[in-house]
Each structure stands twice: as C-alpha cells, then as structure tokens.
Amino acid sequence: MTSPTYTPPATRQTFAGSGRAPRLSFGGVLKSERIKLSSLRSIRITLLITLLASAGLSLLSAWAMKSSFSYEGVEVFALSGEALQSYLLTVSTFASPFLALIFGVLGVFVMSSEYSSGMILSSLAAVPKRSPMYFGKALVLAAIAAITALVLVVLGLAIGVLFLPDAASEMFSVPVLTGALGAIVYLVCVALLGFGFAAILRSTAGGISVVAGLIFVLPIGFQFLSMTGWEWVPTVSNYLPLALGSTLSMGDVAAGTDPGYWGAMLAIVLWAAVPAALGLAVLKSRDAK
C-alpha cells in the first residue's frame, strides 16, 4: 500500500519578514515617479534654466517700466490702481510666453526619457497596468510644473514690489491674483501638452519640435494668413496656446477679448487634455518598445 504523496501548501511572494504579499498602490506609484523624475539630470537643469531665465526677464521688465514711470529718479505722475496692477502683472508674467517652451520641453523629457533610456520596460515591469503609471507621471509632472510656475510668479511679484513699493497695495487685487493663476495654469498645461505629444511620438526631438511649432511657429503662420482677409483666421488664432497664455496673464478683467479669461482657461485645458488622452491610448495599444 503506497503512502499518500505530501503536497506542500501554496506559497505567496511576500515582503521579507512581513508575511504579507506585496500590494501595488497608486500612492506608491506616485512616490516612485517623484523619485525617478527628481533624479533626472535633464529635469534639474531645465528647472534651473527656468528659474534663472524668469528672474532675469522679471528684473529687466521691472527696471524698464520703473524707468518709464520716472525721470532722473523722480516720479513723473502718480500711478492709478489699474496702472499698478498692470505693472505687477507685466513683471510677474512677462516671462510666461518665453518660458512656455521650457515647460513644454520639461513635459517632453518626463515621458521621452523613459524610451530613450530603455527604462520604460522596467517601469512597466514594476507597474504592469499602464494607466496608473501614465497618470502617476502626469500628476507628478503637473505638481512639479505648478510649484515651479508658482515660484516664478511669486518671484516676479517680489521683484516688482522691490522696484516699485507702491505696487504692494495692489498685490492681492482680483486682476493680479487671477493673472497669476492664469499664468500658472498656462505653464502647467503646456507641460502636459508636451507630455502628451512625447507619449504619442516616443521621441524627444519629435516632441520638442511639435511643442515649439504649436507655441511659436503656428502663430507666425496665422499672421501671414491674416493678410488673406479670411474671417475665421483671427478667431482661430485667438485660441492658439500663445494667445491663450496672453489672455490668461491679463487676469479676469473686462478686456473685450474673445475668448475671455474663463474661456481661455477652458481652451488651454483642452489643449493639454487631448494630447494627453491620445498619448494614453497609444501607450495602451502599442508595445513598449
């Protein structure tokens, strides 16, 4: 009579010494993406260039405007509240159209570096479901871009008050606060736009080319088209990213422009959301390599 064969109980992979099976959480994905992005040299260099460029442009604009308000160190006329608000907005958001390209490049680097370094395979091995990995990268990028943009705007406001102390009285006015918010949202959305196109193209050069084309080259093309007299050209050009950024940096004021402040806010969010959604679709439908 044969004895029954002993079958060992099924074992599960556990953390060392914990007795628990590993469980992947979205919070863990966010933490890993934060560590990964903060360790990239290209990201750190891009952020440093952004800070230096913004401070330099804010100083230049504050000095130029301060000089126009005075003659040989003496104020020519008393500035109204609207003039002080315009001064603060100009100094704090003057760099936004120029820095938009840097934020777009930042978004491209976040995604394209995965493919250029081959880390995308390791990332998907650690997070098999592609959506959490993608959303984790996008959220970390948005947080980094928002914090950086906030620092740039606050630094610009501080420089403006330093050159013209009377402007401090308008620091918390509605136009200044909404203009600062608009500049921050614009830069974050441009970063996400670059992120989305990098996910679609999987190329650093391709992503940067598309971002630069949309922000700087396309408006020039529409300027030439405006000479044709076609009525739809000015309307469409007002919804290009660069024009939307200018509208948002003006703040929530009755400027008579189309779109208005909140319409421009919605439009720039759509500019970011559509490429990001297409990038996710491409990531889920194609092989990682």
Q: Hey, CA dihedral for 205, 208, 213, 216, is it positive or negative?
A: negative
pTM score of the predicted model: 0.84
Question: CB–CB of 137/110 below 8 Å?
Answer: yes
Distances (CA, A) of 128 to 33, 39, 156, 205: 14, 22, 43, 27
Residue 86 confidence (pLDDT): 86
**Along the 289 residues of the chain, how does pLDDT read in single tens digits?**
455 555 444 444 444 444 454 566 778 888 888 887 777 787 788 788 888 888 888 888 888 887 776 544 545 445 677 888 888 988 888 888 788 988 999 999 888 888 877 777 777 777 778 888 899 999 999 999 999 999 999 999 999 889 888 888 888 899 899 999 999 999 999 999 999 999 999 888 999 999 999 998 898 888 888 888 788 888 889 999 999 998 998 888 756 677 889 999 999 999 999 999 999 999 888 776 6
Residue count (the chain)? 289
